[in-house]
Structure 1
């Protein structure tokens, strides 16, 4: 049982580092649109954890399309928490 928990912990750490590597950082060639905002909203927790440990990770893409990026970002953050349905229980 201990070995299984250890392996699960290692897998979770690898997944966390993999997700934070996709966090927005600086200016890219193309503007970040709706789907980039959606993805950045989903991984905001991992971006915040990386930021706390001093990594140069952006929370929000600076070079974005405006309203569509913002809309995707907000939907992504809401989707992470279950859209508020989990807080009702």
Structure 2
């Protein structure tokens, strides 16, 4: 019974991770597209899902980890912040020493 729950939980986690992957970027190589460029919040989201998007991008040419039609520095700031949380340490990564130990 416990083995079945583990498999079910792993399948649910895999489905959740697959749902977070970014889609194809149809704007690659286009200029003057009539769409607003993405900004900080999309950059944050793309940075958060970069591990999954990177894996998908290895197997397909239509998925990129970075939005090419972006608003510039604000998108970059969001992307780096999201990347820090997803790959880097985030707010909980810094280890703190306890005052009693040395």
Q: Same fold (TM over 0.5)?
A: yes
Question: Deviations for 1:36-64, whole angstroms, at most 9, x for unmatched residues?
Answer: 00000000001011112336211100000
Q: What is the root-mean-square deviation in Å for CA atoms of aligned residues?
A: 2.2
After TM superposition, the structure 1 stretch with the greater mean CA deviation from structure 2, 5-14 or 62-71, is: 5-14
**Alignment counterpart, residue 46 of structure 1, candidates 52, 57, 72:** 52
Distance 1:9 1:84 in 2: 26
- Structure showing greater radius of gyration is 2
Q: Which has the higher helix share?
A: 1
Q: Aligned-pair distance for 1:69?
A: 0.3
After TM superposition, the structure 1 stretch with the greater mean CA deviation from structure 2, 6-15 or 26-35, is: 26-35
What TM-score do the two structures reach when normalised by structure 2?
0.74
What is the aligned length?
A: 88
- Asked whether the 8 Å contact 2:24–2:62 carries over to 1, the reply is no
For structure 1, the residue ranges without an aligned partner over 5 or more in a row are none
Counterpart for residue 19 of structure 1: 20
Structure ranking higher on relative contact order (CA contacts 8 Å, 6+ apart) = 1
Counterpart for residue 10 of structure 1: 11
